[in-house]
Homo-oligomer: A and B are copies of this chain.
Amino acid sequence: MGSVDQQSLAEYCEQLAKTTHAAAGKMALLSAEVKNRCLLLAADLLVKQQEQILAANSKDLAEAPKYNLTPAEVDRLKLDAKRIAEMAEGIRAVASQRDPIGEVISSEVRPNGLVVDKVRVPLGVIFFIYESRPNVTADAAAICIKSGNGVILRGGKEAVYSSRAILQCIWQAAEQTGVPKEAIGQVEVVDREAVGQLLKMSRWIDVAIPRGGKSLIQRVAEEAKMPVIKHYDGNCHIYVDRSADLNMAGEILFNAKCQRMGVCNAAESLLVHRQIAPRFLEVVRDRLIPFGIELRGDSEVCKQIKDAKLASEEDWGTEYLGPILSVKIVESLEEAITHINHYGSHHTDAIVTNDREAAETFCRGVDSSAVMVNASTRFNDGGQLGLGAEIGISTDKFHARGPCGVAELTSYKYVIHGQGQVRV
């Protein structure tokens, strides 16, 4: 569609939102069988029509220099037979999950005989704004179909041809299985203002989910007139308690910091109890410095590790997403909890300890979406926690916290059966 004037842009967006809303109403009534049949067919079509998808992907790759993509970004954009097969497998995994819609969450008979059921229903229409790999298009569409929602997809312009080719397969599967195709909508205009227009349409859109850089999330949170599921920083901590198994602590720290650095559940900050600091800082130095990790410590840490730099106040609140770790000695478990709640981002924090009571105090006291005892922070992920595919990890407390899978895209209604009861 390309660029358009403001009035026709507003009309286009309203039409898209209304159409998706109307189709979402039908989507909400589909049986699990129909939705699963659609997903399985879509997975098959992705594999069968991979030539078209790869051709579309080549177009995106040819235009990549226009968008100044880094080599890593180009690599994430690139599809091949293996990646398409993985994408199809991801959709099949969503199909195999339990259908949340219609689930009776609770049921109670009131003294007057009314039967009060709380029943799970879809949220409605999801506006998903993402700057990412083509497979996110397939994942997001699959999760929304499974949860009975409509979705308006707004992917990054750098993957526009690939996304469209993937959606063609999903639309084809929808048509052949009786799923309303219009429930899977796509913003076809590149105009950035289209996002602004859609974010106003709280009448037709129930929730906005931005996935990408901080500035995108801030913009969406600022402009949206509907609720937003936000995915902000992960400034994740590892606290090594005085009773910790220092070997285990070393393994967990190394994994959390080094296994993958550019992700939100990687560790960014280490807190060490004073009693075991002399011994454990040796472990830290020996494991991390040879791996190229820069340590930024408080003055005592710097005394013990001569290669460490002095941390600034800002370091305690920073998500590095790279080979840096801030390190601080604390006097007590309580100081660790207070530090994490103050400087952390309420994402994922871990304690390493052999003291059950300390573990429990930590889990109760740290206000984060996931708290780990003797495990790597890297486990805060929908797949790892058993939620299946995820559309993001919420750093909010409201509605959904932590990984958002199919069930997190639902609401509920009260369904009440009587025999003529009236209120007295």
Instruction: Report how far A25 CA is from B397 CA in the complex, Å.
Output: 14
Interface centre among A364, A373, A413 (most CB of B within 10 A): A413
Q: Are A422 and B374 in contact (CB under 8 A)?
A: no
Residues of B within 8 A of A372 (CB): 416, 418
Q: Does A94 contact B (CB under 8 A)?
A: no
Interface status of A344 (Cβ within 8 A of chain B): no
Bound state CA distance, A359 and B416, in angstroms?
A: 11
Given contacts A110-B386, A123-B398, contact A375 B255 (CB under 8 A): no
Q: Judging by beta carbons under 8 Å apart, are A371 and B124 in contact?
A: no
Which residue in B123, B256, B374, B415 is a CB contact (below 8 Å) of A419? B374
Within 8 Å of chain B (Cβ to Cβ): is A78?
no
- Which B residues lie within 8 Å of A399 (CB)? 227, 398-399
User: Is A376 touching B422 in the complex (CB atoms < 8 A)?
Assistant: yes
**A361 CB to closest chain B CB, in angstroms?**
9
Q: Which of A375, A379, A396 has the most CB of B within 10 A?
A: A375
A385-B414 contact in complex given A207-B398, A227-B398, A251-B422, C-beta closer than 8 Å: yes
Other-chain contact of A252, B373, B379, B417, B420 (Cβ < 8 Å): B420
What are the residues of chain B within 8 A of A121 when measuring CB–CB? 367
B29-A384 in contact (CB<8A): no
Interface residue A287 (Cβ < 8 Å from any Cβ of B): no
On chain B, the residues within 8 Å of A341 by CB distance are: 25
Q: Mark A109-128, 1 if CB is under 8 A from B, else 0.
A: 01000101001010110000
Among residues of B, the one whose C-beta sits closest to the C-beta of A221 is B225
Q: Are A371 and B414 in contact (CB under 8 A)?
A: yes
Residues in B whose Cβ lies below 8 Å from that of A421 = 374-376, 379
A 346-382 contacts with B by CB, 8 A: 359, 363-365, 367-376, 378-380
B residues in contact with A386, CB < 8 Å: 108, 110, 116
Q: Does A339 contact B (CB under 8 A)?
A: no
Chain B nearest Cβ from A63, distance in angstroms: 35
Residues of B close to A413: CB separation below 8 A? 367-371, 401-402
**Minimal Cβ-Cβ distance residue in B for A101:** B364
Q: Does A52 contact B (CB under 8 A)?
A: no
Interface residue from B374, B380, B417, B419 paired with A414 (Cβ < 8 Å): B380
Give Cα distance in the complex from A255 to B378, angstroms: 56
Distance from A148 Cβ to chain B, minimum over Cβ atoms (Å)? 11
What's the minimum C-beta distance from A222 to chain B, rounded to whole angstroms?
9
Asked if A414 and B370 make an inter-chain contact with CB atoms under 8 angstroms apart, the answer reads yes
Distance between Cα atoms of A378 and B365 in the complex (Å): 41
Give Cα A116 to B379, complex, Å: 10
State how many angstroms separate the Cβ of A267 from the closest Cβ of chain B: 11
Residues of chain B with a CB closer than 8 A to A370's CB: 413-416
Are A374 and B423 neighbours in the complex by a CB distance under 8 Å?
no
> Nearest chain B CB to A344's CB is how many angstroms away?
13
| A369: chain B residues within 8 A (beta carbon) | 413-414
Interface string of A395-413 (1 = CB under 8 A from B): 0111101100000000111
Would you call A248 an interface residue if the criterion is a C-beta within 8 Å of the partner chain's C-beta atoms? Answer: yes
Q: Which B residues touch A419, using CB under 8 A? A: 374
- For residue A206, CB closer than 8 A to chain B, the reply is yes
- What are 20 A-B contacts with C-beta separation under 8 Å? A25-B367, A28-B364, A28-B367, A108-B386, A116-B385, A227-B227, A245-B420, A259-B423, A367-B413, A369-B413, A370-B415, A370-B416, A371-B413, A371-B414, A373-B418, A375-B421, A375-B422, A376-B421, A378-B422, A385-B414
Given contacts A25-B367, A119-B363, A375-B420, 19 further A-B contacts (CB under 8 A): A25-B341, A28-B367, A29-B364, A110-B386, A123-B397, A206-B397, A227-B399, A255-B423, A259-B422, A369-B414, A373-B418, A374-B417, A374-B418, A374-B421, A375-B421, A375-B422, A376-B423, A398-B398, A401-B412
Binding site for B on A (CB under 8 A): 25, 28-29, 108, 110, 114, 116, 119, 121, 123-124, 206-207, 227, 245, 248, 251-252, 254-256, 259, 341, 359, 363-365, 367-376, 378-380, 384-386, 396-399, 401-402, 411-423
